[in-house]
Amino acid sequence: MSALDPSDLDRFVAADPTAPVVMLNLVRFVPGGADKYAQYIRQFSSSGIKERYGVAVVYGGAGHPSLVPPEGGDWDMVALFSYPSRQHFVDMVSDPDYQQFEHLRAEAVATAVLQPTTPAL
């Protein structure tokens, strides 16, 4: 999976820079990618990035066969991460400390959805 495009990040933050956001992550791994993704999560958890940008893990879980299969197959992992604002997310992915280990995620992931959400219920 390639890095986030700067124009996509600009559009994302411009939508509402200061409101909280919860990011839905749907991930399909490359063969052997689960181990590399676990390395990414360990680095993320121990780097101080979560605390620096106010990231909260709302949920993370392994995918199982779908009742209604999505196009392209089932997801290997589902996660929800909460950020104080869209700007916090953009600042995090731009942080040089984060970029030092982000390659682990990129190398692990074959396909992903990164969907911003806001409370509706």
Q: How far does Cα 61 stand from its chain's mean position?
A: 13
C-alpha 5/C-alpha 48 separation (Å) is: 24
Does position 65 have pLDDT exceeding 90, yes or no? no
Q: How many Å apart are CA 111 and CA 113, to the nearest integer?
A: 7
Residue 98 clears pLDDT 90, i.e. is over it = yes
Residue 84, in any domain of the structure:
yes
111, pLDDT greater than 60: yes
Is 87 inside a domain boundary?
A: yes
Residue 34 CB contacts under 8 Å (≥ 6 apart), including other chains: 76, 77, 108
Q: For residue 1, is pLDDT > 50?
A: no
Q: What is the CATH number of the domain that holds 93?
A: 3.30.70.100
- Is 70 a residue whose pLDDT tops 80? no
| 120 within some domain | no
pLDDT at res. 119: 80
Q: Is residue 121 part of a domain?
A: no
Number of domains in the chain: 1
State the pTM of this model. Answer: 0.89
Residue 19 lies in a domain: yes
Tally of CA atoms within 13 A in the half-sphere of 57 that contains its CB: 10
The pair of structure tokens assigned to 88 is 């916090």
Note whether residue 52 is domain-resident. yes
Res 40 pLDDT > 60? yes
Q: Is residue 92 part of a domain?
A: yes
Domain that holds residue 97: 6-115
Mean of per-residue pLDDT scores for the chain: 91
Q: Is 35 domain-assigned?
A: yes
Task: Tell me the two tokens of residue 44.
Answer: 């993320």
Residue with tokens 């953009």: 90
